[in-house]
Amino acid sequence: MASGAVGCAVVSEGDVFDGAFWAGTPFAESRSEEETRLGLAEMTQGNYGRAESHFNLALKLNPQNVHALLGRGVLYQNTGQVLKAREMYEAILAIRPEKSKQMVVWTNFAPKPISDIASVNLALLESGGVPASMEQGAAGRQEPSQAGSAISSAPSASALTARTPPPPASAPVSAVKPGPAMTKFADADANVVSRFKTLIALRDQGLITQEEYRTRRQANIGALVPLISPPPAAGLDRPFPTTEQVAGRLRAIGRALEMRAMTISQHASERSMILDALVPSAPVVVANPGVPPRGLMEAADAVRRLERLRTDHLINSDEYTKERAAIEGAMQPKPPPRPKMVAAAKAGGAPTKMEAKNAGPQPAVHLASYRTKKAANRGWAQLRRAHRKLLGKLKSEITKVNLGPGKGVYYRLKVGPVDSAAAANNLCRKLKKRRQYCEPSFIGTS
């Protein structure tokens, strides 16, 4: 007994709680699973530091514990540590766990094979951090944007077990990063150009079909050549995620569909939402018609812009020729309008002279476009109620506009008249501060 006691090392309390003490013993696997459960519990409460400690101990006890690897991967992904998260998911795929090893996906509480979850989350990392729902209000759409986390409840089925980490404050997801060619355009125009370049890239990468590209381009070509085309969707001049982010997101949800992590209807819905936010195929709200340049300087700027669009292969030669002809035509002098003569009567009742009466459109503002006249009337009632101090004394004019095959009929809501074009600009400035679409326009024909 004495010799046995001498040969045994003294076991301290610290050794008992050290993973290395248990590694390789029959207790290691069960202890590792217990630490994993504690780590997941801490992570659901947002205690990432304690959760990481539990996962680290679980993996020290059993480096092949795929549940702990997945938990740590989700933790790193949720805290923006992309490289570490990728290492965890790649380690799971390298282990090749059996399909029987599953974890609950909190988006629908359905268990999924851990290898499938790791594969989809890895694809989400490669997507560049685009949120599951695209930016609210882009290109005439009003969709709620929600980020998901399967560990802490996730509304987005495609997010699986991790929410996409937010980008750094210095580079927001919605910021457009113009390349060398794009810096030649003004900010609003650069956003339009960015959207069309992204559409071309998606077509070239096989993420959309040629027919989808043609339909969406044709519905919004007015953003590039406004004088010869119908108005495009409203909002194309707003910032939008980069081409790499959009393409990555489409690939990620495609991978999720292949892994059966989302249904066909969920995939189709999110894909359509992304593409409609980029360039809608059937705009619900359209922008104002293009305005010809006023003066030689504006005309010269318009021609230079047109040449850049052709150089960047965003418009073809035929579109360039027609748009340039429209720009040059706007510079041709026009005869002054003939005054409308009306009879003026004396007290006796018989007209004795003719006097000119000012005729023509009056300054106004364009607030929205709708698919039906009923919707336009309802929209005007809502807008007048919401902006009573600014719009309460103005009258509405709803005009029917047929944009031709593939686009259909729209009803434009304009209100006025106002005193002058400057007053229209001032009114739009105030409405835009209230986040209401507004552009100066004209109302009436006489």
Question: Residue 374 belongs to what H/E stretch?
Answer: helix 373-386
Give the highest mean pLDDT range of 52-61, 130-139, 247-256, 344-353.
Answer: 52-61
pLDDT level of residue 80 (50, 70, 90 thresholds)? confident
pLDDT level of residue 30 (50, 70, 90 thresholds)? confident
Per residue in 96-117, pLDDT tens?
A: 888 887 775 544 456 788 888 8
Helix segments in 234-311, DSSP class H: 243-258, 264-278, 296-311
Statement: residue 158 has pLDDT above 50: no
The residues of the chain that CATH labels 3.30.70.1070 are: 359-443
The pLDDT assigned to 168 comes to 35
Q: Which of 6, 28, 10, 30 is nearest to 19 (CA)?
A: 28
Among 21-35, 65-79, 129-143, which is the least confidently predicted range?
129-143
Give the highest mean pLDDT range of 150-159, 175-184, 185-194, 216-225.
Answer: 216-225
CA-CA distance, 158 to 149, in Å (whole number)? Answer: 10
The pLDDT assigned to 370 comes to 87
* CATH architecture assignment, domain 359-443: 2-Layer Sandwich (3.30)
The pLDDT assigned to 203 comes to 94
Q: Which of 74, 315, 357, 117 is nearest to 200 (CA)?
A: 315
When pLDDT is averaged across residues 151-174 and rounded to a whole number, the result is 35
CA-CA distance, 259 to 262, in Å (whole number)? Answer: 8
Please tell me which residue, 26 or 45, carries the higher pLDDT value: 45
